[in-house]
Amino acid sequence: MSKRKQSTPLIDYQVRHRRRLFAGEITDVSEVHQFFAHFLEHQDAIRVELNQFTKQELSAGFLGGMADMSRKKKAMVASAWNRLAGTWHLADSVMVHWNQRFIDVWKEEIPKQTQADLEAFNQKQAEQRAEQEAQRAYSRKCRENPVTLEEFRYHQDQWGTKGLSDSQLARFDMLRWEEHRRRLAKDGADQVNLKNGFDLGEVDAEIIETKHTKRGYDLFVVQFSHWLMRSDWLDVYQNCKELGGWYSGYDLDGAVPGLQFRTRVAAETFIRSLVDAPEGEDIAAVLAERQKIRQMGAADRLRFIAARQELGAQEALAADRKTNTIRRAAMADAIEARSRALIAEAATIRALATILASTEHHPLDGVFHRNHLRTLAGINAGNPDIRTAKIPRPWLWQRDCIQIYHILADTPGAKMAAAWILKQGEEKVVFPKGREEYAEKVVHFGQAPWYLIENMQTAQRLARMGITEDWQLRHALRAYRQIKVPAEEQDALTRAVRELIGTKIPGFFPTPPELVERIIDLADIEEGMEILEPSAGKGDLAAAAREAGGQVTCVEANARLCDILALQKLHPICMDFFQYQSEMLFDRVVMNPPFENKADLYFIQHAYSAVKPGGKLVAIAATSIQNYGSDFLAVTGATVYQNPPDAFRSAFRPTGVNTVTIVIERPEGEALTKASTVIEDKVGAV
């Protein structure tokens, strides 16, 4: 009891011994008689002390039990007074006539209570205390470390699931899934709810040729193998009408119900749009293949889908594509990223197929189509914390509700849905369980916004997988994460090279593949030769020379290009070539130096001094070098080959400069010659 201005010794005395009684500490029945006599002696004073308590304090249950705050204080005091008096009545119940008071009955019965009555009372209290302690221990166990399904459910009923750790929640979901599977097996039920309809990707179609039963003209009727989801059906029917078709459910007099078309071409065009068949491919063959796939078992079907998808993605990934502009590089990145994602998805599908083939029951055994797996992938991507994953509920923004209301209010069969929507005042109107049909009315009649259709399609697709509760979704997502194969990242080299596109680096015009091949052929590289690439750029020539068997030394002044060379393990020397000092001479020099301000001539001259006697230099240069470098070319006996005029127009960094390929062979045993003097003079000039 709380502190108060006046003391309550009589109540404190009664309450203290009352606690002793219920704790089993009173073993002599005479004490019970004594304490009841004390109550009778001071009953009026006890009532006065009780009146010192507030209604809030009286309702706090200090005598065991909660009082009703709505009662008058006088009645609450009387109730507390009776509870104090009735403490000393050891029987389970008391018989009170309509014209009697409890206190009168207790005055008569309590003095007659025997030692046997007290022992029976204590025995019963001991059993209740043991039961309560067992319940408290069970409650602690359920709160701190639940293991069984019953313990988890007790925890959920008492405290919800927020207090469960991730591993505990995972176990709870697994136990519920196992119970669900046992119940399905007992009932002989399939976990898939067929009422939700099928995805377009799961449905086959066929064309039936017939005639109009009244007018006699040719008709080509498209029938589906299964019911479609309503949202998909609306899209399909709109596509049908755009092609001049219509729907007829008439099936009497030999009529064929379905989507009706006047020509086979229109019917095939309609089906082609549904199954993504390439233009010109035989639609009958496409439908036959889809039918064959549908007849496979789930695991075989998934393997077939995975193999076909991976093959197409590998072909797309390996295809040659230009990346010499920012736009082309971005398109290539997107195509390649998509291809890598499809390859990873195919691996995931294959892993699922392996599990389904070897396991009788699995959390993903309702997944039998690629769209199902993609639905789980989308939910997984949006919920890094699996605890937040929920079955999507249909909902509307308030701003869309007014327009939808006006459409539904005038539509027969949709007026109740319109009235319900009008009553909702929240900014985000969520359709609760039991109101899903209203959302379907919106989709069917009310020009539903895209997000409502998407949520309903996702929920219906999950239902097709047997996932209708949040815990089932969490359990399926955990299983999905175990088999999910992540997509490979774009390799660092490709990324670094493509980041160069649009970047201005003076003199950087990488060698086109055709010229790389020509230079390597002219260089005639043999296994183990020492090769110098003095203006290595992003490494096209250096990599080709290494592949031909050479031991390549790269020199490059630009730090960013040096990083790209390092990614190729070409071990670049990052410095200006004109400051490069080495006593080593090379068997071959291959190069595509800068052209500006006669730089190609100066690079070639300086590189020539690094060629071994008997070695060879092969370089690309501007066509005009034949004018300003004629003396050098003549002295060294260079051979000049004209390159195609448009050789650099489609290169990594396009340019319209015309170029030549220069081949210089250094004679065996050559000492310092006129050519070398020319080289030294030019280097000095630089």
pLDDT digits (tens, 9 = 90+) for 2-54: 445 568 899 999 999 999 999 999 999 999 999 999 999 999 999 999 998 88
Q: Per-residue pLDDT for 677 more than 80? A: no
Structure confidence at residue 686 as a pLDDT band (50, 70, 90):
very low
C-alpha dihedral over 439, 444, 449, 453, to 10 degrees?
70
Structure confidence at residue 558 as a pLDDT band (50, 70, 90):
very high
Structure confidence at residue 678 as a pLDDT band (50, 70, 90):
very low
What pLDDT digit, counting tens, does each position of 484-515 carry? 999 988 888 888 888 888 788 888 888 998 99
What mean pLDDT do residues 592-616 have? 92
| DSSP assigned state of 557 | S
Pairwise CA distance, residues 90 & 581, whole Å: 110
Q: Per-residue pLDDT for 674 more than 50? A: no
Supply the pLDDT for residue 1: 43
- The answer to whether the predicted template modeling score (pTM) of the entire model surpasses 0.85 is no
Supply the pLDDT for residue 509: 87
Q: Are residues 341 and 442 in the same domain?
A: no
Q: Which residues pair with 430 in a beta bridge?
A: 395
Pairwise CA distance, residues 331 & 321, whole Å: 9
Domain end among 254, 278, 295: 295
What residues have CB less than 8 Å from 295, skipping those under 6 apart?
Answer: none
Supply the pLDDT for residue 656: 77
Q: Per-residue pLDDT for 402 more than 50? A: yes
Question: Taking all residues of the chain, what is their mean pLDDT, rounded to a whole number?
Answer: 86
130 in a structural domain: no
What mean pLDDT do residues 93-112 have? 89
Of residues 314 and 202, more confidently modeled: 314
What mean pLDDT do residues 591-600 have? 91
Q: Are residues 384 and 396 in the same domain?
A: no
2 in a structural domain: no
Supply the pLDDT for residue 672: 43
* Complete DSSP assignment for 347-373: HHHHHHHHHHHH-S--TTTT--SHHHH
Other C-beta atoms within 10 Å of 68: how many? 10
Structure confidence at residue 270 as a pLDDT band (50, 70, 90):
confident
Residue 357 CA to its chain's centroid (Å): 25
Supply the pLDDT for residue 506: 84
Q: Per-residue pLDDT for 549 more than 90? A: yes
Pairwise CA distance, residues 343 & 327, whole Å: 24
Q: Which residues pair with 622 in a beta bridge?
A: 659
Domain end among 185, 216, 240: 185
Q: Per-residue pLDDT for 603 more than 50? A: yes
Q: If we measure between CA atoms, which residue out of 158, 269, 262 comes closest to residue 205?
A: 269
Supply the pLDDT for residue 387: 93
Supply the pLDDT for residue 527: 94
575 in a structural domain: yes
Pairwise CA distance, residues 638 & 27, whole Å: 124
Q: Per-residue pLDDT for 119 more than 50? A: yes
Give the domain extent around 35: 9-121
127 in a structural domain: no
Supply the pLDDT for residue 122: 94
Q: Are residues 483 and 512 in the same domain?
A: no
131 in a structural domain: no
Q: Per-residue pLDDT for 77 more than 60? A: yes
Other C-beta atoms within 10 Å of 102: how many? 15
Q: Are residues 112 and 170 in the same domain?
A: no
558 in a structural domain: yes
What mean pLDDT do residues 403-421 have? 89
Supply the pLDDT for residue 666: 92
Q: Per-residue pLDDT for 196 more than 60? A: no
Q: Which residues pair with 552 in a beta bridge?
A: 531
Q: Are residues 473 and 461 in the same domain?
A: no
Q: Per-residue pLDDT for 143 more than 90? A: yes
Tabulate helix, strand, coil % of the chain (nearest 5).
Answer: 55, 10, 35
What mean pLDDT do residues 78-89 have? 91
Q: Per-residue pLDDT for 676 more than 50? A: no
Supply the pLDDT for residue 622: 92
Supply the pLDDT for residue 495: 86
Q: Which residues pair with 219 in a beta bridge?
A: 210
Q: Are residues 365 and 439 in the same domain?
A: no
Q: Which two tokens stand for residue 580?
A: 């490069």
Q: Per-residue pLDDT for 60 more than 80? A: no
What mean pLDDT do residues 284-311 have? 76
Strand order in the sheet with 246-248: 205-211, 218-224, 258-261, 246-248
For the ranges 66-80, 105-119, 309-323, 350-364, the maximum mean pLDDT occurs at 105-119
Residue 164 CA to its chain's centroid (Å): 23
Pairwise CA distance, residues 236 & 222, whole Å: 11
Answer left, alpha or beta for residue 197, where phi above 0 means left and psi between -120 and 50 means alpha.
left
Q: Are residues 170 and 28 in the same domain?
A: no
Q: Are residues 567 and 668 in the same domain?
A: yes
Supply the pLDDT for residue 192: 42
600 in a structural domain: yes
Q: Are residues 481 and 509 in the same domain?
A: no
Q: How many CA atoms lie within 13 A of 91 on its CB side?
A: 11
Supply the pLDDT for residue 227: 62
What 3-state DSSP class applies to 203? coil
Which secondary structure element, helix H or strand E, spans residue 496, and what is its range?
helix 492-498
Q: Are residues 417 and 347 in the same domain?
A: no
What total number of domains does the chain contain? 6
| DSSP assigned state of 191 | S
Supply the pLDDT for residue 194: 38
**323 and 498 in contact (C-beta within 8 Å)?**
yes
134 in a structural domain: no
Supply the pLDDT for residue 293: 63
Domain CATH code at residue 613: 3.40.50.150
Q: Which residues of 244-274 are buried (b: 16+ CB within 10 A; e: fewer)?
A: ebeeeeeeeeebbebbbbbeeebbbbbbbeb
Q: Are residues 374 and 248 in the same domain?
A: no
C-alpha distance from residue 355 to each of 16, 295, 302, 362, 376 (Å): 67, 19, 11, 8, 17
Q: Are residues 640 and 614 in the same domain?
A: yes
Q: If we measure between CA atoms, which residue out of 465, 418, 472 comes closest to residue 446?
A: 418
Domain end among 295, 324, 343: 295
